[in-house]
Structure formats: structure tokens, C-alpha cells
Amino acid sequence: MTRDDIRDEILDILGDIAPDEDLSDLKDDQSFREQMELDSMDFLDIVMELRKRYRVQIPEDDYVELASMNSTVNYLEPLMKDTVKA
């Protein structure tokens, strides 16, 4: 998957988790928590959805890497580079 594909997938997951949030103005370099009303369960849902959709295992120690769109894409890019977008 390309960086853009990964970003689109994260937006799709965020849209499922927080359907009332306006994701059109999401800033890639700002933390999700600053921009959205996400709690720790929402972040766990993101991790679980990535595992379910793409079999990506994210250790709990790495959850901090999912703070913003940029950090999330940077973290996932090497893990998902050979993944084919469905």
C-alpha cells in the first residue's frame, strides 16, 4: 500500500469509530486527540480494526506511534508496504 492508501484506510477506520466527526479538516501533523474526541477505547478500536482488516500486529508499547496521521502512516508504511488494498 502507498502512503495515500494507508491514510485513506485510517480515515475510513476513524470514520467508523467516530461517525459524527468531520474528518475533512483533519491536520496530518496534529494529534488525533487534539482534533477529535477520542478516548483510549477509541485508540484500541483503531488497533483492533487494523488487526482485523490487515492482520497488522501493533504492540501496546507502540500505541504512542498512532498519535497523529503522519506518525500513524510513518509507523504503518513498512508494515503494510506489501499489503494489497481491497
Question: pLDDT of 3-59, one tens digit each?
Answer: 999 999 999 999 999 999 999 999 999 999 889 988 889 989 999 999 999 999 999
Q: Could you tell me if 70 and 27 are in contact, meaning their C-beta atoms sit under 8 angstroms apart?
A: no
Q: Which CATH architecture has domain 3-19+29-80?
A: Orthogonal Bundle (1.10)
Q: Which of 40, 38, 44, 39 is nearest to 26 (CA)?
A: 38
In eight-state DSSP terms, residue 61 is: G
Domain boundaries, the chain: 3-19+29-80
